[in-house]
């Protein structure tokens, strides 16, 4: 099926790497990170072709370093940005433009921030979660500076082995696309993990396949997902993008190996339950 519109071309200022965009339904705008240009681009909702962004956040005052993923706090009018290599989270006003300083920035050794590829905000509970190198870190929404996370979800029971990706919040739950792919030989300076026995023919095809997992925002430690979508019948290999449609009980997932989008009807995932629920087994 052909797309309705395509934003592309030199005038758009888009870069090769676009992994974590967001849509603002309040202002009908599309917010896109450009990691290669250390910039955040904002387009009209109905932008098309080589149309330039209506705003660009870029420059030394922004403190942006390889912005990889964005999340929108519509309640408080803020854009939150996760850095791929800068080990930081930048927060801007929703209408920020040009070389402007962030409202807040979380960075420093106490934060435990590393390779960030996803971020989500829960404005009602004033919490923020980030997909870190091999874990999920939870901060207070208004945290700034060198602060320790209030919670860390990590360990073998979580099923996260390498690079959790995009995430979303819904009613006190964290929804995560856990890619679990290997970046071996794809980027300079990346080496084989000690737990790996050999380099696979295709670094994207880690034998440990990815999944969609759901945790409570109050979880901390080595906690298994409260709900999962995984396994050969799901069609998921290494999911990276994630969007929620709670009204219709659907989850939309983009897969980096299949180069496509998969839709799942899982209304139980949006209901308040404490027991574990999986798409391939129930307990």
Residue-wise DSSP of 59-109:
SGGGT--SEEEEEEETTTTEEEEEESSS-EEEEEETT--BS---SEEEESG
pLDDT at 221: 94
Four-point Cα dihedral 41, 175, 152, 230, nearest 10: -120
Asked whether the predicted pLDDT for residue 9 surpasses 60, the reply is yes
Lowest mean pLDDT across 51-60, 109-118, 156-165: 156-165
Q: Is the pLDDT of residue 1 over 90?
A: no
Q: Locate tokens 């904002």: which residue? A: 42
Lowest mean pLDDT among 119-128, 192-201, 203-212, 240-249: 192-201
Please determine, for residue 18, whether its predicted confidence score (pLDDT) is greater than 90.
Answer: no
For range 162-167, the mean pLDDT: 84
Q: What is the mean pLDDT of residues 253-260?
A: 86
Average model confidence (pLDDT) across the chain: 87
- What is each CA distance from 4 to 1, 7, 263, 283, in whole angstroms? 9, 10, 19, 42
- What's the burial of 51, exposed, middle or buried (CB within 10 Å: 0-12/13-18/19+)? middle
Cite the residue boundaries of each domain of the chain with CATH code 2.120.10.30.
1-115
Q: Inform me whether the pLDDT recorded for 91 exceeds 60.
A: yes
pLDDT level of residue 273 (50, 70, 90 thresholds): low
Q: So what's the pLDDT on residue 195?
A: 63
Is residue 152 over pLDDT 50?
Answer: yes
The CATH homologous superfamily for domain 1-115 is: TolB, C-terminal domain (2.120.10.30)
């Amino acid at each position: 099926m052909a797309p309705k519109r395509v934003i592309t071309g030199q005038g758009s200022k888009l870069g090769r790497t676009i992994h974590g965009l967001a849509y603002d339904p309040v202002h009908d705008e599309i917010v896109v990170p450009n990691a290669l240009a250390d910039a955040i681009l904002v387009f009209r909702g109905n932008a098309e072709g080589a149309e330039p962004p209506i705003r660009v956040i870029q420059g030394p005052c922004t403190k942006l370093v390889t912005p990889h993923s964005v999340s929108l706090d519509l309640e408080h009018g803020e854009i939150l940005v996760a850095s791929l290599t800068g080990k930081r989270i930048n927060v801007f006003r929703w209408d920020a433009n040009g070389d402007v300083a962030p409202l807040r920035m979380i960075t420093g050794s106490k934060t435990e921030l590393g390779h960030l590829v996803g971020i989500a905000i829960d404005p009602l509970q004033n919490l923020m979660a980030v997909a870190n190198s091999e874990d999920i870190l939870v901060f207070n929404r208004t945290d700034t500076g060198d602060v320790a996370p209030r919670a860390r979800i990590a360990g073998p029971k979580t099923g996260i082995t390498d690079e959790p990706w995009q995430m979303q919040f819904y009613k006190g739950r964290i929804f995560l696309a856990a890619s679990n792919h290997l970046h071996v030989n794809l980027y300079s300076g990346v080496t084989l993990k000690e737990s790996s026995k050999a380099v696979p023919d295709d670094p994207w095809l880690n034998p440990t396949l990815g999944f969609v997992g759901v945790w409570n925002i109050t979880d901390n430690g080595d906690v298994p997902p409260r709900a999962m979508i995984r396994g050969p019948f799901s069609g998921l290999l290494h999911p990276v993008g994630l969007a929620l449609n709670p009204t219709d009980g659907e989850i939309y997932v983009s897969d980096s190996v299949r180069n496509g989008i998969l839709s799942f009807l899982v209304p139980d995932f949006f209901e308040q339950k404490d027991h574990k629920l999986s798409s391939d087994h129930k307990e």
